[in-house]
Every structure is written in C-alpha cells, then in structure tokens.
Chains A and B, each alone.
Chain A
Amino acid sequence: MSTHIEQLLQRDSFIERGARSRARALLDAGTMRELAGPFERLHSPWLALQQLVTSADDGVVVAKGLLDGHPTVVLAIEGAYQGGSMGEIGCAKIAGSLELAARDNRRGIPTRAVILFETGGVRLQEANLGLAGIAEIQAAVVDLRRYQPVIGVSAGTVGCYGGMSIVAGLCSYLVLTREARLGLNGPLVIEQEAGVAEFDAKKRALIWGLTGGEQRAATGLADACVQDDTLEVKATVARLFAQGLPKQHRSERADDFLARLARVDTAEQPAPEDVRNIYQQGDA
C-alpha cells in the first residue's frame, strides 16, 4: 500500500501539463521545435470580431521533433483555452501539418503524427469555418495514415467531442486515460436536443461509464487505457508506432460494426456492460 502511494506521489502527471508541455514531453529531449507558434500572433479574427478573448496560438501547438528517434509532429490542443474548441486557425495548424507530413512521406521522409485531443469540437463562434477545418483535418489524417500510423491521445479532463471525435475515430491507434471521455455529442447537447430523460448531463458516473477511457478501451473503441503518467503515455505511443500500420483501420470495419449493431436490443437504454457484451463477442 505504501509503495502504491509513493508511486502516485512520484508520478509525472500528463493531465496537469498544458498542450505545449505535453508535446515537449512526448518528443525526445531537446528535439522539439514549435512551428507557427505564438510569436506569429495567430489570433482568431472571428473571436476578435465578437469581442471575445483571443490567444496568440489559437489554442493549438504544432511541435516537430523526434519520437524514439523518428521524425514526428505532435499536434496538441490546449483544453484550457476556449474548451479546446476548434476554430479556423487551430484547424489550419493541424490540417496543414498533417498535409506536410504526408508530403514528407511521398518524398521519402517517414514523418509520423500524434494528435493530442482535448476538445469540445467545433468552436461555435467560428461555426462553419471550424466544421470545414475539421473536414480538412479528416482528409489529411486519411491521407497520412496510408504511409504511417496516426496516433490520437486524449488524457482529459476535457476529453474529445464533436467533429474531433470523428477525427479520433480515423486515427490508426487511440490512447485514453481513465479521466478522458470520447463521444460525438456532449451530454449537455444531447439533453438540449433530446431531453433530460434521454441523457441527464448531471450524471457524471453515467457519462464516464459509457464514454470514459476504460469503457472505450474495453469495447475496442480505443487501443489502450493508460495511467495519468507521462512516461506511460510516451511509452504507449512509442509501442503503438512500433507496431506499424494496423491491418485494417478501425474506421474501415463497416461489416464488423454493422453485424454487432444488428445484435443490439434497442428497446432499452444500454448499460456499460451491455455495450461490452456486444462489442467483446467478436465479429461473427
């Protein structure tokens, strides 16, 4: 027991780090270079129009360097700024970097990418440009993953929602912590659209039980659920890169998922065990 507490105290939390610090921690020491950084003053023109607080990096960090000696770009979303929401500039940073990583591969440079998701999805103050930008990120992930794995990580506490959860679903591998949540529609929005009986946004246990990192990993919608420990996150990302491309990406498994969904009893609302039962039965 005492060693357990000691381990906890010595743990280097990943969650407590900001986006820039997370990116630096994943890359090999001394190799990180930030691109399109805050000194470029990339303030959102659309937030400024609405007299809202802007940020010189628009809440996204592009960090290029080496991971286990391999050329890697880490794209980290800052959850503490505007809920990690994705506007025009943040989307362009991620999509543009992935596009360059794919171009590198076509030129023989095996650049890989890690996306650190801490986001509620589209920034509604930039609505359609956020949505368009997310479509461009999706296009770029699908392009790049033809050459190299694209790995997504969501540590929490914001989690990964909205259009960016679809990006997570396109990643070759997905790493979550127990604190992270992954889903398309946030509980508040479901409550607004479908009523409190469909989803009570105050029921935290229900939200984590159905969409938390542990459940997502247990149901095969994520590849690993790790401790909130920087070394463990980095080691897991490195291990997944070492596996190379999956035989089939999760997003390509339409037949498997259709067969599973055909077995769902839709008369009742599912409990976490129901989802595990359906998704752990295999793909018969």
Chain B
Amino acid sequence: MEQQNTTRGAMWLRLLAGGAPSAHDWAAVQVRDAELAGEPARYIAVVPDPANRFPRARNGEVGLVEGWQLAKAVQEVVAMDREAAVKRPIVAVIDVPSQAYGRREEAYGIHQALAGAAGAYAQARLAGHPVIGLVVGLAMSGAFLAHGYQANRLIALDDPGVMVHAMGKASAARVTLRSVEALEKLAATVPPMAYDIQNYASLGLLWRVLQLADLAQPGEQDIALVRGALEAALADILDDRERDLSGRLHGKHRQASRRVRELLQTQWEAAD
C-alpha cells in the first residue's frame, strides 16, 4: 500500500475520491464511486501491484487483467445507468507508465484486453456518460489508449513528470534506428515527437493544462483547482451536443488532420 500511495495516480485518486470505498477488491485497477459537482461519479486509476500474478505488470503497467478490469469497471457504470436520464461521469485518473511488455501478454492477447478497455470507454461516452481524462503522471502508448484516451475532455497537469508518448525513448530509438541522443534532438524540433506536456499541448488534444503550486504535495488550493477543472469539463461536455472526439481537431499542429477530413467529406458523396 505504501508504494501505491507514492504514485501520482494513487495520490490523486485519494485526493479526489477521498475516503470512498473501493468498488472492487482489485489491486492494480482502483475504482472509487464518489462525487463530482455534488453528483455520483466513478473515478478509476491504475496503480502498481508488486504482487501481480503477471510479473511484467507489477509497476503500474496496463496488462491483460488490468485491461479487462478497466473494461468491466466502465461497463458497470453503463449498466447501472442504462435506464437513467442523467448518466454519471467517469474520471480516468491517468498515470500509466506503459502497457505490459511480455511473452505471456502477447500469448493471451493483451491487444484484445486493451481493446476491451478502450471500447468500454468509447461506448460509455457514446451512451452519454461524460468521460474526463486527468493526466497526472505518465500517459504512455497502449496504456493511454486503454485508459483515458477515449475521454470527451483531457486535462493535464503542467509538470515535468507528466509525459505523453507512443513509446519509451530507448525502444523508440531502436525501432527508428537512431541513438537516444539523436531522438532527443529531433524531439526538440518536431512537436509530435516531444515527450513534454507543453509540446503535447501544442497539438490541440488537451482541453486544459493546469498549473499547480506544489506538484509533489498538492495543498487545498491545488486540489480545488483540479476539482474546479473537472467540474468545468463536466459542464462543458453537458453543453456540447457532440459525443465524439472532434474537439481535438482544432490545434495549430493538426492542419493535416483537418484537411484530410475536408477532402473526404467533399469526395464521399461524389463517389456514389
């Protein structure tokens, strides 16, 4: 438990969902039902489980079991509110170092487990549940796709410890046949290759970036700032008629994404 509380994800889950009991007795996937803006909400985080049965998933990675547990935690929310007019929000507290890299994982289909999680979040969003992703630490690769990237709105803390990327530096260097130094040099000039949150923000994928006074030990003010941002995101989602991810296409570095969609729209019906 001690190690769990030292991760950013575990800390923010505790700060936001307080003393709410765990909805499951799972070790790595932590699920808490607490309030957001005075109404019921579900908070979900992935934390390290040093005793994980799968040895490659002991440091907070999203592995086989974690992927399917995330899926289940989200499916439950959709089932609970199936008949309800107001769908409760889901807050994904994101601090995930990576997916689990291992032979067992590939053998038993970790891609399918992560599809379970990503699909559940997307279905919840389409069903009308406001989904908010709060990036408080690492948001890496497949782990981020499974936990948070399907959110209606993404919020990140402005912190050197907050990083979003497709692959760790050593592996990315090996796959692209570059040295880590060369990779870092390129990352400084090519915004989508950078690892830091300011460059990431320039891509237009984040709804808000929050500046905290004390990142390691957030005080009352910092907690109020994060909570206020979650409430504002919730209000913004409820004001929005769209349930898709189109809000992410406005960034200055997404011109090509917009141009391709415009072309497709124009040519789509002409092709019939």
Contacts and interface: CB of A to CB of B under 8 A. Distances in A.
Contact of B101 (A50, A193, A252, A266): A193
Given A46-B192, A184-B111, A35 B65 contact: no
Contacts of A275: 107-108
Interface in A55-73: 62, 64, 71
B244 A129 contact: no
A35 B271 contact: yes
B175 A127 contact: no
The interface centre, meaning the residue of B71, B115, B186 with most chain A CB atoms within 10 A of its CB, is B115
B113 interface: yes
Contacts of A128: 164-166, 192-194, 200, 203, 205
A129 B119 contact: no
A250 B112 contact: yes
Contacts of B205: 128, 132
A199 B118 contact: no
A211 B109 CA distance: 8
A35 B263 contact: yes
B215 to A, nearest CB: 22
B122 interface: yes
Given A33-B271, A266-B53, A132 B203 contact: yes
B112 A142 contact: no
B176 interface: yes
B104 A269 contact: yes
A200 B271 CA distance: 47
A46 B102 CA distance: 31
A44 B257 CA distance: 10
A249 interface: yes
Contacts of A252: 71, 75, 116, 119-120, 123
Contact of B190 (A46, A120, A132): A46
Contacts of A162: 142
Given A129-B253, A183-B111, A266 B271 contact: no
B166 A138 contact: no
A184 B99 contact: yes
B144 interface: yes
Interface of B: 53-56, 64-65, 68-69, 71-72, 75, 98-99, 101-116, 118-120, 122-123, 125-126, 141-142, 144-146, 149-150, 164-168, 170-172, 174-176, 186, 189-190, 192-194, 200, 203, 205, 244-245, 248, 253-257, 259-261, 263-265, 267-268, 271-272
30 contacts: A62-B264, A64-B268, A88-B254, A88-B257, A92-B257, A92-B261, A121-B166, A125-B190, A125-B193, A129-B192, A129-B257, A131-B164, A132-B248, A142-B126, A163-B142, A165-B111, A166-B111, A185-B105, A186-B175, A189-B171, A193-B101, A194-B102, A198-B103, A251-B71, A252-B75, A252-B123, A255-B72, A258-B68, A266-B54, A266-B55
Given A132-B205, A166-B142, A194-B101, 5 more contacts: A50-B190, A128-B192, A128-B205, A251-B120, A278-B108
